[in-house]
Structure 1
Amino acid sequence: MAPPKRKTGGGRVTAKGTRPGDRPASGHPTTDHHEVSASSRYTPKQERRQLIPPNWIPVIMLVLLIGGGLLIMARYLIFTDSNWPTLVGLAAILGGLYTATKWQ
């Protein structure tokens, strides 16, 4: 017994031999500027404004990274009975890494 025929989808939407520039946009008069209507499929990228990184971002990043490392070392040299400096040091290092991702 043969399997049932598959239904093929879609097909041609426009008449054969037409090109994208042959018909006008839906209901909009032709203009010289390249403005895309809201109902079209293509959405152009929005212009990104240049973000100049503030001077304090690398300073905060370095302070957190170095401070976190120093806190972890201080746990072994000074605070031998507590693990809090290790936890705070790890949090500071993670904060420094997070700040590093924000530096553009």
Structure 2
Amino acid sequence: MSEKPAKRRVSGGRVTPKGTRPDGYTPDTVSHTGQDTMPPSPRWVPILMFGLLGAGIATILVNYVGSFWDTSNPVLLLGLGMILAGIITATQYR
């Protein structure tokens, strides 16, 4: 049988120099005074958001049940469009 080669001992420590901050480095201090904050959303924004989401889901469900009209792609796209509009409205909510 062949013998395994001896493990090489590594002496030394760090291969790359330790990262240090340059002289004269001062971290940026940011003071939050509250002047940059946006005012809260009007009451109609969450109402519109939930209304569009609910109407979109209801449109898709009614489309698949087929109780008012035959199942069709334009009605499905209308429901998906309302859901997308609800999601876009949700991004504007503060």
- Pick the aligned partner of 1:88 from 61, 78, 88: 78
Aligned to 2:64: 76
- Structure with the bigger RCO (C-alpha within 8 Å, sep 6+) is 2
Is contact 1:74–1:85 with CA below 8 Å preserved after alignment?
no
Percentage identity across paired residues of the two chains: 33
1:56 deviation in Å? 0.4
How many residues are matched? 62
What are structure 2's unaligned runs of at least 5 residues? 1-23, 25-29
Q: Which has the higher helix share?
A: 2
State TM-score, norm by structure 2.
0.57
Matched ranges for 1:4-15 at <5 A: none
TM-score normalized by the length of structure 1: 0.52
Shift of 1:83: 1.5
